[in-house]
Structure 1
Amino acid sequence: MKALATSSLLAATLATGLMAGLFAAFAYAVMPGLRRGDDRTFVAAMQQINKAILNGWFMTCFLGAILALALAAVAQWSGGDRRVFVFVLAALVLYLAMFVITAAVSVPLNDELAAAGQPDRIGDLAAVRERFESGWVAWNIARAVTSTGAFGCLAWALVLHGRSTH
């Protein structure tokens, strides 16, 4: 059980950290950079990013973190340290909040942007961008905060786990 507790906690921390980094990078670099572009550039870039991100690496981290978090929580509850369990549980709750935001807000906004069609064929690019940008940016910041909080909880859980195994 100790091997499962350690490996699942490490996997959860790595996958959650990668997701937190992705959302944070969008918050502090990608979206501010795209904000400086014209409407066509913004819409075209986001449409292509939304297509490109649906790949095996993303899905492994995005969904794998949930599995690893659940395994880590079970392992800590079953035979691990209850102090570690509390931080793993907090991380799971924060990560699930990010997951819900993604499913309920970000994906529908991405789908709406894709449904607008090719940028060269959109009559009012400014309106399409306006319907998408501010909401997506605000909710992405919420995803960055929740996933970074989950990562921080897992980092501390690793510290506590390391102390309890010595």
Structure 2
Amino acid sequence: MTDLLVLFTALGAATVGGVFFAFSSFVMRALAQLPAAQGVAAMQRINVVVINPWFMGAFMCTLLLSIACVVVACLLWSAPRSAWLLAAGLLYAVGTFGVTMVFNVPRNDRLARLDAASAEAAVYWPVYVREWIFWNHVRTAAGLASAVCAILVWTR
């Protein structure tokens, strides 16, 4: 049972971290190079379309798995793999999910309220891109680090 928990946590964290990596490495750079109205409109659509069963399933199921990792690690704390399991769970739950909810989602919500063609959107767009990418780098690193820690549970 623990092996399946670790496997699916690693796969989920790597998948979500990979999606965020794509945004950090090229998606946001491409959107930032568009005129503000087009970049804002595109990101507004992305923020709507991302709420789908495939992505949200991976994102939320991995959260549940990461919480289970924390619980199992605490219950089996004397086991040699518990620290890696705890790290995998916390990195995803706090660093990926938590950062998303506290830092990226509020920026997305603010962007959603703007008319893409407005002067206000044009002023906010570069601020949004800079701040959103910073926090996206954090959640990308946390997701991928979570996957690595889950993998290390098997190697220790």
Deviations 1:15-65 (A, max 9, x none): 111111011111111111222211122101110110011111122111111
Q: TM-score, normalization: structure 2?
A: 0.89
Deviation at residue 91 of structure 1 after TM alignment:
1.2
1:37-52 equivalences under 5 Å are 37-52=34-49
8 Å Cα contact 1:10/1:158 also seen in 2? no
Alignment-derived partner of residue 104 in structure 1: 102
Which stretch of structure 1 is more off in the superposition, 19-28 or 59-68?
Answer: 59-68
1:1-166 equivalences under 5 Å are 4-75=1-72, 78=75, 82-95=79-92, 96-117=94-115, 119-120=116-117, 122-160=118-156
**Backbone CA RMSD of aligned residues:** 1.9
The aligned length equals: 155
Deviations 1:85-123 (A, max 9, x none): 211101112112222211111000000000013x24x23
Bigger CA radius of gyration: 1
The SS at the match of 2:80 is helix
What runs of 5+ residues in structure 2 fail to find an aligned partner? none
What code does the residue aligned with 1:133 have? V
